[in-house]
Each structure stands twice: as structure tokens, then as C-alpha cells.
């Protein structure tokens, strides 16, 4: 006996969908991102239990990356990456903005805290201070 096909989903929780669409590795990380205000649904903030529907627009922030996607399909199960990419489409403006930001980060170079001066740099700093 085969099971009858499940009816198509009409709504799913925001945190579950973000996890299933592979924007976040765990559902709790998706929940933390929503609680932290890094996810907007249709231009307004949301809560983890907000129900998403096909056609909703999400703005998602992950680190320095900002994405704007439109929900195409709903799923509450995490599957392969190809299936996850079929759940949404990224807007053209978002894709261009991400590419520009990536290029700008590449041109600026690696950031981070300044390193401690080594022995040679300390000697140079002393020489500069003493020459005044």
C-alpha cells in the first residue's frame, strides 16, 4: 500500500523555513537571527512563529551579507541544497548589491585588529619617537 500524496503546504513557520532553505545551519540559529532583527518579512519585522506564504519577500542578514529573497515554495524539512534553492529566488538588486560588497571587501583587503609590532617595528617606532 502506498501513502496518498501529502497536500501542498499553505504556510510554515519563518524559523523552520529559513532552516529548510539552508540560510542557517540550525533552527535555533534561524530563531536567534529573527529575534535579533536580522530578518524582515514583507518590509516588517517578524517573530520566529510568523507564518510564511508563497510570494512573501524576506530580507535576511548573515554577517556582512544581506539577501533579499522571494519565497517560491514552502517546506518544513531540510533537504539537499538543490531542493533548498528551489524554495526561493534572490532578487536581482540583492544579487548586484552582494557582488558589489564582495568586490569592495576584496579590494580593501583583510581587516581585523592591528597586530603587535615585532622587534624591528618596535625599534623603528623608538627611533621615530626619539628623533622629535
Distance CA 7, CA 5 (A): 6
Q: Contact at 8 Å (CB) between 36 and 63?
A: no
Asked whether the predicted pLDDT for residue 39 surpasses 70, the reply is yes
Output the CA–CA distances (angstroms, integers) from residue 60 to 1, 88, 108, 127, in the order listed: 43, 12, 24, 50
User: Each residue of 41-99: pLDDT tens digit?
Assistant: 999 999 999 999 999 999 999 988 899 999 999 999 999 999 999 999 999 999 999 99
User: Each residue of 94-106: pLDDT tens digit?
Assistant: 999 999 999 988 8
Looking at residue 5, its pLDDT comes to 63
pTM passes above 0.95: no
Break the chain into its structural domains and give their ranges.
Answer: 12-111
**CATH code, 12-111:** 3.10.290.10
Q: Contact at 8 Å (CB) between 52 and 59?
A: no
Amino acid at each position: 500500500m502506498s501513502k496518498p500524496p501529502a497536500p501542498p503546504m499553505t504556510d510554515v513557520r519563518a524559523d523552520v523555513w529559513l532552516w529548510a532553505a539552508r540560510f542557517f545551519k540550525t533552527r535555533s540559529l534561524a530563531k536567534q537571527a529573527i529575534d535579533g532583527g536580522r530578518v524582515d518579512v514583507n518590509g516588517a519585522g517578524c517573530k520566529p512563529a510568523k507564518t510564511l506564504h508563497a510570494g512573501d519577500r524576506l530580507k535576511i542578514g548573515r554577517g556582512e551579507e544581506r539577501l533579499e529573497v522571494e519565497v517560491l515554495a514552502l517546506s518544513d524539512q531540510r533537504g539537499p541544497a538543490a531542493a533548498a534553492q528551489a524554495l526561493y529566488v534572490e532578487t536581482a538588486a540583492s544579487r548586484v548589491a552582494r557582488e558589489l560588497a564582495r568586490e569592495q571587501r576584496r579590494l580593501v583587503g583583510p581587516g581585523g585588529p592591528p597586530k603587535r609590532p615585532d622587534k624591528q617595528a618596535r625599534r623603528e617606532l623608538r627611533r621615530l619617537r626619539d628623533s622629535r
